[in-house]
Structure 1
Amino acid sequence: MSDDDDFMQDSDAEYDFEYEDDDEPEGGDVDVENKYYNAKQMKADNPQEAIDEFLGVPSLEDTKGDWGFKGLKQAIKLEFALARYEDAVKHYKELLTYVKSAVTRNYSEKSINNMLDYIEKTASDRTAYQCMEEFFSLTLDTFQATNNERLALKTNVKLAKLYLDKKEYQQLSKKVQEIHKACLRDDGTTDPGKGTYSLEAYALEIQMYAEQKNNKRLKAIYQKALGVRSAVPHPKVQGVIRECGGKMHMSEENWKDAQSDFFESFKNYDEAGSMQRIQVLKYLVLTTMLMKSTINPFDSQETKPYRNNPRISAMTDLVDAYQRDDIHRYESILRDNQDLLDDPFIAENIDEVSRNMRSKAVLKLIAPYSRFTLQFVAKHIKVSVGEVQEILGVLIVDRKLKAQIDQSNGTVEIAAENSERLQRLREWTSAVDSLATTILNDGDGFKMADSQVGPTSSSYDALGGPMEQMVSRGQKRVGGGGRGRGNFLSKGFGPI
């Protein structure tokens, strides 16, 4: 779900930082120290020889100590980077023997955690993932044996994330349950001091159900995650939970809650410095269009700095075209930015936005006409005749349009009573008629002589010519009690 390498950070800190090994107190004789620093000088230019030099450091110590631990650690990192995975595992087993007595608890915990972070960031293929899984398992066994619950929980979270990356959902479910169990007190209540680990487990579980499209379970876990109050997690964890929540709401067509979750997710990713903020911002824009909102999502203080970001410009232009009902600009942006559809979530939901956009364009185009052809609409909207027919069919079913489609000759006839403009004009005519009666007939000012009003009107269609329709024919007596009042729109198919 993420394009950053640091998904799960140190659970007890808002952010993690790398620690320099050389900040630790130095001890031992000069030969050991010189060998270690000589190996460090060789790392960049000759990593293979540097590995041999690092591995020679432990043998120079009479008893296991800091220099041997540091030498092994440097060698393992180089071996992993050079894909010498078997050697890396072998020497990692040796390194773990140092944590019981050779180095302090805090130093070993910090060093091992940083080692696992490094491996997690460096792994890029199936073999590396297998090696990483073995590292995690060895670490877990070691720190469970030494009752180091804190590092054991951290390692379990890392292992669960690895199962998620490998899509090994059965293993992930077992590991998540193990984490939740470890976060309980003896009486079965949640340990407030372990709320962060529990929330991270929920985040992984939520991602699993999102990938499986199991909305029922996703919703249940999502609600549990929102109920955790004792955690102070890395903001990226919150970003993940909110992002998955937004996608869940989108699948339920709950646009309002989806928009809220995507906005919260964006803010958390932004705080964490995660590049996933860009993708979630695209989701936020998408939701704004699905809501048919007239509020620009880039008007807020948090999103405004990204308005002109080149990675988001296509979505910015898209929402602008959508809110201006510019169908041709909208379609042009989609054609020129096919990479937008590389994201399955956007590809899955943009069709609904496009249908809304085309439906509005069709209603706007046909407003002046009482009859038109499917080909006429297809030409102006620049979509296929079949799609025009589908759009009109949906509008008719949704009662947004009252019309009949003649598939045999590809024409559409609008029912006269369907026209909102006609209805408004009728109401306006009636109001004017009533006002005229009140002021001119019943008032004391003056009375006009009888006059005849016989307007006719031509309504145009999209079939190629005027349809002469008699709108009203009759006598209208403005004065004299209003005898012979006529209806301005007794019949007619098109706008006056």
Structure 2
Amino acid sequence: MSDVEDDFMCEEEEDYGLEYSEDSNSEPDVDLENQYYNSKALKEDDPNAALASFQKVLDLEGGEKGEWGFKALKQMIKINFKLGNYKEMMVRYKQLLTYIKSAVTRNHSEKSINSILDYISTSKNMELLQDFYETTLDALKDAKNDRLWFKTNTKLGKLYFDRSDFNKLAKILKQLHQSCQTDDGEDDLKKGTQLLEIYALEIQMYTAQKNNKKLKTLYEQSLHIKSAIPHPLIMGVIRECGGKMHLREGEFEKAHTDFFEAFKNYDESGSPRRTTCLKYLVLANMLMKSGINPFDSQEAKPYKNDPEILAMTNLVSSYQNNDINEFETILKQNRKNIMDDPFIREHIE
């Protein structure tokens, strides 16, 4: 089970407080509660029966939206996603979004939608993701939930980046920037963490477009934000793009520093990009003609014998020894590991 799935499931067990006011003397509806837990017991062995059973929770509500209906819809979204019933999943998600205004607390709805967003974001179906994020944003227009709006928009922006749809990404970035500005139109440095997320997305776009002029300005701005506690993954993205920018400008030592910082951040966040950045570090090491072994560092040493890294270090070794035959042999044997990366290919060909 993935961490995201585990989080999604654990969240179901938490009591986000079936909140009943003292003066109303209301009690949890036992029939609804029993129906919900009976349905939940079915979902692993017979998901279709569970879906029908969760529908009964909604029927028992009789149009009065409440906590148990909200929880039932969350389960129905999850089951339909696992079964690949994406059309039905979207129907249920739109239904759930009608509950966020009055049926559950703001805190509960935010945590729930956050967990659903993270769960569905594991999909590789880009059309589904786009529909999902846009539906969420549409529902949030009236909800005035800035944090959820920001998170959903950054996910939609990342989707546009993955699809190389830079026009739509630019529009998202404009909206995100506006949400982090003061009344004077300047960056609100009190929102440093959000600003770094925006910069990371924008920096990736300019790196892909090879727009070094705009990239340099943004990169330097991002390093001057001191009010943030960024996720290491965000800093990994920023430093990786900085390394690429410096390498393209022939500033090999600066590139070397950035790739090493990117590697450490990716390593801390558990991102597979750490291996890619180590390859870039080896490349920068080769181009700066350094005699220092990048794997002498405590952080990089465990990856020294990784097959992908080994191919790259052997390539550099043959280059430094002026052994053209060995260089070409290694390239031929490890073409996928080395030359499939467009950035490495750009500097080796």
Fold shared by both chains (TM-score > 0.5): yes
User: d(CA) in 1 for partners of 2:39 and 2:311?
Assistant: 50
Query: Partner residue of 1:71?
Result: 72
Residue 160 (structure 1) shift: 1.1
Residues 392-415 of structure 1: CA deviation (Å, up to 9, x unaligned): xxxxxxxxxxxxxxxxxxxxxxxx
Q: Runs (4+) of structure 1 moved beyond 6 Å?
A: none
Residues 305-347 of structure 1, C-alpha deviations (whole Å, 9 max, x = no match): 2112233221233334444554444333223212221111112
Deviation at 1:30, TM superposition (A): 3.5
Answer 1 or 2: which has greater helix percent: 2
Is the 2:180–2:188 contact (alpha carbons within 8 Å) kept by the matching residues of 1? yes
Q: Deviations over 1:185-204 (max 9, x none)?
A: 22333333422222111111
Secondary structure at the counterpart of residue 90 of structure 1: helix
CA deviations over 1:223-275 (Å, ceiling 9, x no partner): 22222222212110111111111111222222111111111110110111101
Q: Secondary structure at the match of 1:311?
A: helix
Deviations 1:390-439, CA, capped at 9 Å, x for gaps: xxxxxxxxxxxxxxxxxxxxxxxxxxxxxxxxxxxxxxxxxxxxxxxxxx
Identity of aligned residues (%): 53
Query: Compared with structure 1, are the counterparts of its residues 320 and 233 closer, same or farther at alpha carbon in structure 2 (3 Å cutoff)?
Result: same
2:198 to 180, 184, 201: 201
Per-residue CA distance 1:45-87 (angstroms, 9 max, x = gap): 3323322222322222253222111110111122233332222
For the residues of structure 1 that align with 2:97 and 2:333, how far apart are their CA atoms? 55
Match of 2:303 in 1: 306
Which residue of structure 1 aligns with residue 332 of structure 2?
335
1:297 aligned residue: 294
- Aligned partner of 1:34 in structure 2 is 34
| Map of 2:110 onto structure 1 | 109
Per the TM alignment, residue 181 of structure 1 is displaced from its structure 2 partner at its CA by: 0.6
Other-structure match for 2:94: 93
Partner amino acid for 1:102? Answer: A
Number of paired residues? Answer: 335
Residue pair 2:233, 2:266 contacting (<8 A) in 1 also: yes
Opposite residue 162 of structure 1, the aligned amino acid is L
Amino acid in the other structure paired with 2:119 = Y
Look up the equivalent residue of 1:92 and give its one-letter code.
Y
Q: Is the 1:193–1:230 Cα contact (8 Å) retained in structure 2?
A: yes
- 1:211 maps to 208
Structure-2-length-normalised TM-score: 0.88
1:119 and 1:132 in contact (8 A); partners too = yes
1:270 match: 267
**What pairs with 1:61-460 in structure 2 (closer than 5 Å)?**
61=61, 63-121=64-122, 123-125=123-125, 129-339=126-336, 340-351=338-349
Are residues 5 and 342 of structure 1, via their aligned partners in 2, closer, same or farther at CA, if it must alter by over 3 Å? Answer: farther
Does the Cα contact within 8 Å between 2:189 and 2:225 map onto a contact in 1? no
Q: Is the Cα contact below 8 Å between 1:157 and 1:197 reproduced in 2?
A: no
Provide structure 2 residue ranges, at least 5 long, that are not aligned to the other structure. 19-26
1:189 aligned partner, one-letter code = E
1:222–1:288 CA distance, 2 compared to 1 (3 A): same
Q: Equivalents in 1 of 2:33, 2:327: separation in Å?
A: 66
> Letter of the aligned partner of 1:341 in structure 2?
M
Contact 1:28/1:67 (8 A) holds in 2 = no
> What letter is aligned with 1:58?
L
Quick check: 1:169–1:208 contact (8 Å CA) kept in 2? Answer: yes
Q: Residues of 2 paired with 1:117 and 1:37: CA distance?
A: 24
Asked if the contact 1:314–1:337 (Cα under 8 Å) also holds between the matched residues in 2, the reply is: yes
Look up the match of 1:487: none
3-state SS of 2:229 partner: coil
Distance 1:5 1:257, change over 3 A: farther
Structure 1 CA distance for aligned equivalents of residues 173 and 113 of structure 2: 22
Could you list the per-position Cα deviations for residues 14-67 of structure 1 after superposition, in whole angstroms to 9, with x for gaps in the alignment? xx9654212114673343233323332332333233222223222222532221
User: Where does residue 56 of structure 1 map in the other structure?
Assistant: 56
Amino acid at match of 1:287: A
**8 Å contact kept, 1:79–1:87:** yes
Aligned partners of 1:314 and 1:333 also within 8 Å: yes
The one-letter amino acid of 2:133's match is F
Per-residue CA deviation, residues 357-382 of structure 1 (Å, 9 max, x unaligned), is xxxxxxxxxxxxxxxxxxxxxxxxxx
Question: Structure 1's 38 and 313: CA in aligned 2 closer, same or farther, altered over 3 A?
Answer: farther
Shift of 1:120: 0.8
Whole-Å separation in 2 of the counterparts to 1:193 and 1:49: 50
Q: 2:56 and 2:320 mapped to 1: Cα distance?
A: 68
Deviations 1:171-191 (Å, cap 9, x if unpaired)? 110110111111112233333
Q: CA RMSD in A?
A: 2.3
Q: Which stretch shifts more, 23-32 or 212-221?
A: 23-32
TM-score under structure 1 length normalisation: 0.63
Aligned equivalents of 2:189 and 2:211: distance in 1?
29
Unaligned runs of 5+ in 1: 7-15, 352-496
Q: 2:14: which partner in 1?
A: 23
2: CA distance, partners of 1:5 / 1:201: 25
| Cα shift at 1:143 | 2.6
Distance 2:61 2:340 in 1: 56
Deviation at 1:296, TM superposition (A): 0.8
Give 3-state SS (helix, strand or coil) of 1:57's partner. Answer: helix
Establish whether residue 46 from structure 1 lines up as the match of residue 43 from structure 2.
Answer: no
Kept in 1: contact 2:7–2:115 (CA 8 A): no
